């Protein structure tokens, strides 16, 4: 149920990675609070499943790495609804990749999805965000600031996301555009499953994570989504350049 203090009525929001996990929960939460949401991702069927859950979500199947994808996404939202108020750069990929196995191609892949695509999308949305004093919410990770043995390049992409967040906040403040990020801890989604682990290894890692998190479990996508909405809240006018850990206290240990 929408909470009463948040309203995105008639605001236009772009959410990347809206076909699953945190992105789906975020797209639906914005729609439940009155927004028109463009849900972006590669898998049309997954996006349609999100859109089926709320008429406020319109799917756009596109690979954010494709040439001109950023302009296509921004134009799809602006042409349809005449404005863009919020960009949520959520689409991301994880790769377990010990240094000994790193290749130029796999490093480039990670940076293209996690760093380059959000940057180009932010650039494409910029004129619209300026016009409506909108905001950007990026999605980092616990490992944007913590080291991660065996997935150093993933961690490096998220560290980059955090520096982009702070630097854009400073650069765009004069335009009235706020830029913040969430740094989720381990959260139930397709992300870990897509990292190529065996079911046994997956279960072991999930249990280890739950045991380490002070609140005693992994997070749920809607528990992250609610903070993405709060950072994007048009009433949160005095908040910019912040990275909010949404992690059951993991940052503290």
Question: Could you give the residue numbers annotated as active site?
Answer: 154
Is 225 in contact with 31 (CB distance < 8 Å)?
Answer: no
Q: Which is nearer to ligand NAP, 130 or 206 (CB)?
A: 206
Q: Which is nearer to ligand NAP, 6 or 113 (CB)?
A: 113
Chain positions contacting ligand NAP, by CB under 6 A = 16-17, 19-23, 41-43, 46, 63-65, 90-94, 113, 139, 141, 184, 186-187, 189-191, 194
86: left (phi over 0), alpha (psi -120 to 50) or beta: beta
Q: Which is nearer to ligand NAP, 7 or 226 (CB)?
A: 226
As measured in angstroms, the least distance from the Cβ of 34 to ligand NAP is 23
As measured in angstroms, the least distance from the Cβ of 80 to ligand NAP is 19
The neighbouring-strand residues paired with 37 are 13, 57
As measured in angstroms, the least distance from the Cβ of 203 to ligand NAP is 15
The DSSP line for 128-176 is HHHHHT-EEEEE--GGGTS--TT-HHHHHHHHHHHHHHHHHHHHHGGGT
Give the length of the chain: 253
Q: Which residues contact 229 (CB under 8 A, 6 or more apart)?
A: 6, 8, 26, 29, 30, 33
As measured in angstroms, the least distance from the Cβ of 131 to ligand NAP is 26
The neighbouring-strand residues paired with 102 are none
What's the sign of the alpha-carbon dihedral 85, 87, 88, 91? Answer: positive
Q: Which is nearer to ligand NAP, 41 or 248 (CB)?
A: 41
């Amino acid at each position: 149920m929408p909470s009463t203090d948040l309203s995105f009525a008639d605001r236009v929001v772009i959410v990347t990675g809206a076909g699953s996990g945190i992105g789906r929960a975020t797209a639906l939460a914005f729609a439940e609070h009155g927004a028109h949401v463009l849900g972006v991702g590669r898998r049309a069927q997954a996006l349609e499943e999100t859109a089926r859950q709320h008429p406020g979500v319109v799917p756009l199947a596109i690979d954010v790495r494709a040439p001109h994808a950023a302009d296509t996404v921004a134009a799809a939202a602006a042409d349809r609804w005449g404005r863009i108020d919020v960009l949520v750069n959520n689409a991301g990929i994880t790769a377990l990749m010990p240094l000994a196995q790193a290749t130029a191609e796999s490093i480039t892949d990670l940076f293209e999805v996690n760093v380059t695509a959000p940057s180009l999308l932010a650039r494409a949305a910029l004129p619209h965000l300026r016009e409506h004093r909108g905001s950007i919410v990026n999605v980092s990770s616990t490992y944007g600031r913590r080291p991660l043995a065996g997935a150093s390049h993933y961690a490096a992409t998220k560290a980059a996301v955090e520096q982009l967040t702070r630097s854009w906040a400073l650069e765009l403040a004069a335009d009235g555009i706020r830029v913040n990020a969430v740094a989720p801890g381990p959260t139930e989604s397709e992300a870990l499953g897509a990292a190529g682990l065996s079911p046994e290894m997956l279960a072991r890692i999930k249990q280890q994570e739950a045991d380490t998190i002070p609140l005693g479990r992994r997070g749920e996508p809607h528990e992250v989504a609610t903070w993405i909405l709060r950072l994007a809240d048009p009433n949160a006018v005095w908040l910019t350049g912040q990275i909010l850990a949404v992690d059951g206290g993991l940052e503290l240990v």
